[in-house]
Amino acid sequence: MDEKRSSFSGSIGFVLAAAGSAIGLGNLWRFPYLAAKNGGGLFLAVYLALLVTFGFTLLVTEVAIGRKTKSSPLMAYGKLHEKWKWIGVFAVVVPFLILPYYCVIGGWVLKYCVVFLTGQVAAASENGFFSGYITSTAEPLVFMALYLFLTFFVVYREIDDGIEKFSKLLMPVLLLIVIGVALFSLTIRYDDGTVTRTGMDGLAVYLIPNLDGLTAGGFMSVLLAAMGQLFFSISVAMGIMITYGSYFKDRGNIFTSVWQIGIFDTAVAILAGLMTVVPIYVLMGQEGMNASGPSLLFVAMPKTFHSMGFTGTVVGAAFFIMAFFAALTSSISIMEAVVSSMMERLSVSRKKAAVIESLVAFAIGAVVCFGYNLLYFEIPLPNGSVGQVLDVLDYISNGLLMPVVEIGTCLLIGWALTPDVVIDEATKNGEPFGQKGMFKTMIRFIAPILLTVLLLQSLGSIG
């Protein structure tokens, strides 16, 4: 089966597909909020430091595992060490749980694309519009199904004719929209006769480090926030990078590709802050900076765009089209991790695996949609939050299983085997590896500790 395994035609296709996976809704609704909340430039500096150490280590490890084993995440770990194949099971359960609720959220984004493209901005900016939409029964289900079909359509095709071709088309468009909207946000001005705020004022709030009253405890909070955002942003621990790594040709340079993925993902995340933090601050002031998650994307941003008049309708439409592209490239990679595992484990065709996974995802996605109306409940979670169906699935997959998968990966590579397993694979073409010492220290000691802290945070053991 290895000889017949699909592959990307080259490094560009791999980088764009992997970057598309990393660039998701978290870049739009979580990164900007965390940056604004945690000292602006201080958060960015910590995030970048973690990217070139912690993030680099995890990305190189998973891509190398995928290319070395030429296997899906379900089977890759067992090929490395029979006693550690349980990691592969967890690594596939994660995208299996994420895909249904991610498609529900993707359906929300698709709905807002339609809203802005049809000029319903005033309605979308009203209080209760978003909650009224997600608590309705039929419409969210329809948009989820449409979004899921688009995801299925790309995965259904072969790698080079589906995911690679799609990524090469959408990623440049996504980047152009991000840059355009971000630059436009710097031109926004608010003046009510007594208060004046400009885009450059918003940029200062976003980028200039705020060290006022910073304590050791405060810095640790910033560190944990940046680490959590990075970990959940770069698409590790959910089988995606192993899957894409298995399609990466042997002659490709893993290090160069990983750096490009990291730069692409981080650049979009930073620009997302310009698209969200800057206009919200300019038009709504400091009190508007408290929104995060869905409320930032589906409540605060529509209000902000509506306050711009006709220009806001155009910019808002571009913004939500960009958000739709970002979401879709991520859901495609999530489905691919599951489909790849089904193909290898059950010896079924890509088309059959994609159909089965899509039907299952639709069924679970329907339950998630009904979790806001017919099946509504509230349950306290160990991390202190209160959740519905979507939140429970997110907590199990992101809060629990992902840290467990990556802790297991670090222990497998760092101790049960040796870091040389990854180093040898990544340097098989004679590539220089100047960060070898850092990589070994990170994979064996620092990364497992940081990941354990994230897990304890999810379990409510630390604040």
More confident position, 463 or 25: 25
Q: Which two tokens stand for residue 347?
A: 């010896």
In whole angstroms, give the CA distance from residue 104 to residue 368. 7
Q: Burial level of 225, CB count in 10 A (0-12/13-18/19+)?
A: buried
Residues 99-152 pLDDT 10s? 999 999 999 999 999 999 999 999 999 999 999 999 999 999 999 999 999 999
Comparing C-alpha atoms, which of 442, 409, 382, 432 is closest to residue 63?
Answer: 409
Q: What is the pLDDT confidence band of residue 426, given thresholds at 50, 70 and 90?
A: very high
Q: Are 64 and 79 in contact (CB under 8 A)?
A: no
Residues 349-395 pLDDT 10s? 999 999 999 999 999 999 999 999 999 999 999 999 999 999 999 99
In whole angstroms, give the CA distance from residue 211 to residue 263. 26
What integer pLDDT is reported at residue 3 of this predicted model?
42
What integer pLDDT is reported at residue 36 of this predicted model?
84
In a domain, 66, yes or no: yes
Residues 170-224 pLDDT 10s? 999 999 999 999 999 999 999 988 999 999 999 998 888 888 878 998 999 999 9
Domain count, the chain: 1
Span 280-309, average pLDDT: 87
In whole angstroms, give the CA distance from residue 29 to residue 124. 17
In a domain, 81, yes or no: yes
What integer pLDDT is reported at residue 211 of this predicted model?
84
The CATH number of residue 278's host domain is: 1.20.1740
Comparing C-alpha atoms, which of 316, 313, 309, 305 is closest to residue 282?
Answer: 305
In whole angstroms, give the CA distance from residue 33 to residue 41. 13
Span 82-88, average pLDDT: 97
Check pLDDT > 70 for residue 156: yes
CB atoms within 10 A of CB 454: 21
Q: Are 150 and 109 in contact (CB under 8 A)?
A: no
pTM over 0.75: yes
What is the average pLDDT score of the chain? 94
Span 320-329, average pLDDT: 96
In a domain, 321, yes or no: yes
Check pLDDT > 60 for residue 432: yes
What integer pLDDT is reported at residue 463 of this predicted model?
62
Residues 398-417 pLDDT 10s? 999 999 999 999 999 999 99
Dihedral angle sign, alpha carbons of residues 28, 30, 36, 38: negative
**Candidate from 156-160, 196-200, 284-288 with smallest mean pLDDT:** 284-288
Domain span at residue 435 reads: 2-458
Comparing C-alpha atoms, which of 145, 90, 166, 178 is closest to residue 333?
Answer: 166
Q: Burial level of 279, CB count in 10 A (0-12/13-18/19+)?
A: buried
In a domain, 200, yes or no: yes
Check pLDDT > 50 for residue 2: no
What integer pLDDT is reported at residue 40 of this predicted model?
84
Comparing C-alpha atoms, which of 435, 427, 421, 432 is closest to residue 61?
Answer: 421
In a domain, 463, yes or no: no
In whole angstroms, give the CA distance from residue 277 to residue 185. 9
Check pLDDT > 60 for residue 1: no
In a domain, 77, yes or no: yes
Span 287-304, average pLDDT: 85
Span 417-436, average pLDDT: 97
